[in-house]
Amino acid sequence: MRPERTRPRTSALAARLTILASLTLAGCGADDENVNPGQPATPRAEAVQRAQGVTTLGSAATGTAAAAPTAPAPVAADAEDPLRNRDDLPPEQRVLIVAEGRERYVDEATARAHGYTVVDFRNDWTPYIFEPVTGPDGLPLENRYRRIFIGLANDETDGDGVALPAHEDNFLEVFGIPPSMGVIRERVVTDATRKCHEKIDYPLIAKLDAITYRSNKRERRHQAKVRALSAKLDKAMKQAKAKDLEALKVADPSLAADVDYVEAARLEVAVMGEIDKRLDCDRHNDKRYRHKKGQLDHGLRLALRRFQRKHKLYENTNLRHETMRVMAQPPLRTNYDGFVRVLTERLIAATSILEDGTATVDGKPVTYTGKDGQPHALRNLVQEFTDAALASLDLATPEKALAFFQRHPAEDFGWLRVGVKVPPLPEYYAPHMELDVVVDRGDVWYDPPWDEEGKRVHQSRARMPKLYLYVTHNGERFPLVRWPTTIGGWREEQAINGYEYYKYKGSDVGSRVIRKIISGPTWVPPGTTPLRSLAKRKYVNGKAQGVVNYEEMGPGYLSAYGLVAGYFVIPGKDGRPDQDRGIRAHGSSDFMSIRSAQRFSHGCHRLVNHAAVRLYGFLLHHRTMVVDGDQELNANRQFFYKDQVYAVRIPSRGFQYRLEPPLPVEVLGGRIRGTLRQPVEGLVKMPGKAYPAGMPGDKVDGDGEDEDRSGGGSAADEDDT
């Protein structure tokens, strides 16, 4: 069962129209400067700044910063408690706080005046980048993707806007879309009543840190070895009159290795039995996966993928450390962790903080000099504020969270907001902060990834790419976050002759700026994009058919640019326009590529979606900016693939914010490895693949030069799905 609905479902047709109306141009390689700039600039939304737990609204004038944080206003003396419970307030004015150990509803203004920060628990919450902002006419400017985001977060629709089947869930946290509070409530309350969880031996699962996957051939050999050793040990136990295998090890130490092997195999079998029970109870083992109980088969991987996505685990679909750790915890604990993660994202949006403990300098913690002349350690504000909010709401344990959700029925999350006390912000926080981005490319290989015989070669990267956000305070510059990212490398590209070649898709080096931030971005595939990535098979009314792969183009969490993108451009001089070479720092659903030493983008710098959402929400709160709103595009294209004609329509490239002044960016050259010092230009034939004579662009029989119509720059990140 899914939670009770607080609003009507989105119709499939209306949602599809919404999606089609909300697609945007962006991308590694797209030349956006020549596209219709869209609507005129509108005043920026009021930027919410918080200090000492008090909200101060900034100026709404175009390009101006919010007002500096002020101290809490004094609370007027009143014989009647100003924080008394006010059940008489209409829901839209209520804020729930916990005072003297009891929940109370108070007026929002009263809560803020007493130092509370208001956090949105409503089911229609979205991150700041998707919130409506106010236009010059006083009317809200709605982000087209907001409606889709809400449908996904509430397990109502899929990414195409189609209603989810009964008992289906989205599990999109790893893609930057946390579940709504209503969905979290349903998980917590429902799992507390499910008897199947009581039959699972969680301590037994915890005995294994991982379970080894073997090929079919290795698995058959392993099973044969276990059978042979078991027979051998049974015979030895009878001869030694040992009551069990442990006693046999003492009686005959020469058999210790055989005993350990058999016991390890039996423990794996026992643990697998409990894992299957856990996956069954959580409804992850679907019949269509054809998983055989106790087998490490493909069906198990599909079930594990659902489990990992539900619990925001960034691992391959194996039974490795983090997956096993969470598998060994009962639902009361794992659902509580899910609630804390959802609370954290809403708290970040409400307070516009970013620091998460990742920043280091030469492997050491970051410090800065305060106004008092003393060194101060960079704080992990995300952890601090989350802990403070849980304490303020008296929700610091799974049991208390369960009681909270049992007290509040599903319909409460149509209007519920809470007030929490959080620590003061660091002194370097301000409405407009001196921020800049640095991308360290790490180890870079220009050599093709194969030898002279066409065999794949390993190109190690000890230093992986990193993205830093720096702040300058009192003349001192230090990083706030340090996140893994990607750089470009050797990628496949379709040439004018229809064949796919390799091309080096590098990441530019040097000084850039971010002027545009696009939320809900779309990507217009260049002519060099392989057609196989532009179409997909999908079941429509129970029948599989070919459809345009809008998941790839966006807007959406699976799109090439994820949920939000910042455009890297070379600023124009002497009245000239910016030079856009198609490089972006953007969200990505391909989170494993960000962690892999063998994976590359097409030149862009990918971030896991939730990090990108946090980063650009922070920048929009702490830099002066202009809201340009939805950017009309109306890009159309047809292509023919596998005996079917596909028509692509991308009406918009997304909702645009413009930073004024733009944000400085520096992309470092990194450490060049291998033989080549410069990237290879042009197309390169793939080893072992047959090609027609010559290369695209060669002169052919005096007919002139074969024009390469693919255009310049890098292609977008087609594999981000």
Q: Read out DSSP for 614-633?
A: HHHHHHHHHS-EEEEEEEEE
Asked if residue 266 is part of any domain, the answer here is yes
| Residues ≥6 apart with Cβ < 8 Å to 647 | 548, 636, 637, 638
Examine residue 210 and state whether it is found in any structural domain, yes or no: yes
In 3D space, the residue among 490, 468, 488 whose CA is nearest the CA of residue 479 turns out to be 468
Say if residues 43 and 66 touch (Cβ distance below 8 Å).
Answer: no
Closest CA to 163 of 282, 16, 328, 300: 16
* Nearest CA among 512, 616, 599, 508 for reference residue 561: 616
Asked, for residue 568, whether it belongs to a domain, the answer is no
- Dist. CA 173–CA 535, nearest whole Å: 25
Structure tokens at 184: 């979290």
- Whether residue 431 is preceded by a cis peptide bond, meaning omega within 30 degrees of 0, is no
Q: Is residue 237 part of a domain?
A: yes
Q: Note whether residue 290 is domain-resident.
A: yes
- Confidence at residue 721, expressed as pLDDT on a 0 to 100 scale: 28
In a domain, 218, yes or no: yes
> Residue 48 and residue 42: Cα distance in Å, rounded?
18
The 8 Å CB, 24+ separation contacts for 227-232 are: 229/258, 229/261, 229/262, 230/262, 232/258
Instruction: Work out how many domains the chain is built from and give that number.
Output: 1
C-alpha torsion angle, residues 82, 87, 93, 98 (rounded to 10)? 60
pLDDT at 718: 35
Positions of the chain with pLDDT under 50:
1-27, 29-77, 79, 699-721
Residue 575 lies in a domain: no
Instruction: Tell me the sheet residues that pair with 699.
Output: 705
What would the pLDDT profile of 38-79 be if each residue is shown by its tens digit?
A: 333 332 233 333 333 333 223 233 333 333 333 444 444 454
DSSP summary character for residue 60 = -
In a domain, 209, yes or no: yes
Q: Taking the alpha carbons of 295, 297, 299, 304 in that order, is the dihedral positive or negative?
A: positive
C-alpha closest to that of 503 among 716, 719, 714? 714
CA distance 565 to 684: 30
SS3 call for 320: coil
Where in the sequence is the domain holding 243, given as residue range(s)?
A: 201-327
Q: Which of 47, 79, 39 is nearest to 63 (CA)?
A: 47
- List Cα–Cα distances, 184 to 2, 72, 243, in angstroms: 10, 33, 49
How many C-beta atoms surround the C-beta of residue 627 within 10 A? 21
